Every structure is written in structure tokens, then in C-alpha cells.
Amino acid sequence: MSGNLRRLFVGNIPWTVSQFELKQYFAKFGPVRSASIIFDDKTGISKGYGFVSFANRDALSSTVNHSDHELDGAKLNLQAVSPKQRNTRIDTDE
């Protein structure tokens, strides 16, 4: 895992989950700088994905080493995001 890798794409976020809940969920793995959910500009409804930025790479490592991530009954899809490599998929299925 890259040394500067601290950002995570989170897919399959239920529309019922808030940005606060997303941040709270990932904070149990380490310090979170920010968590955001992307919303449709016209409808204001969640598009079902977002991003979490961690304060350090250890927090990201702790997150991806956890096998399953679930919020409101939906299994989350995770993908590490870095400035140089934008498509490093992290599969939480084992």
C-alpha cells in the first residue's frame, strides 16, 4: 500500500446514511479527517457513494484489514484512492 494512501472511495452507501454516520463508522478504525457523501444536485438524494479521508495511512490499513463493512444492512464497497493511482480496488469479500 502506498505511503501517501489515506483516502477511500466508499460505494453502495444506503441513502439513509448521513455524512456524520459515515464518519462515525470509519472513525472506529482510526482518525478521520473528513467523510463526504455525494448527492444529486437536482434531487438532493444521495448517489450512494462518497469518500473518507484518514489522518494517517495506519487508519486506512486498519480499515481495509477489516473483512466486512456494513451500514444500514448494506455491504459497502471500498476502493483506495491516491493522487497517482486512482483505481486500486480493495475487495472486502473473503
Question: How confident is the prediction for the chain on average, in pLDDT?
Answer: 87
pLDDT in tens, 68-92: 999 999 999 999 887 655 454 545 5
Domain with 79, as residue range(s), is 7-90
Can you give the pTM of this predicted structure? Answer: 0.81
Domains in the chain: how many in total?
1
Strands (E), 1-94: 7-11, 32-39, 46-54, 70-71, 74-75, 77-81, 88-90
Instruction: Inform me whether the pLDDT recorded for 47 exceeds 80.
Output: yes
pLDDT for the residue numbered 67: 80
Does 21 fall in a domain? yes
Residue 57 belongs to a domain with what CATH number? Answer: 3.30.70.330
CB atoms within 10 A of CB 81: 18
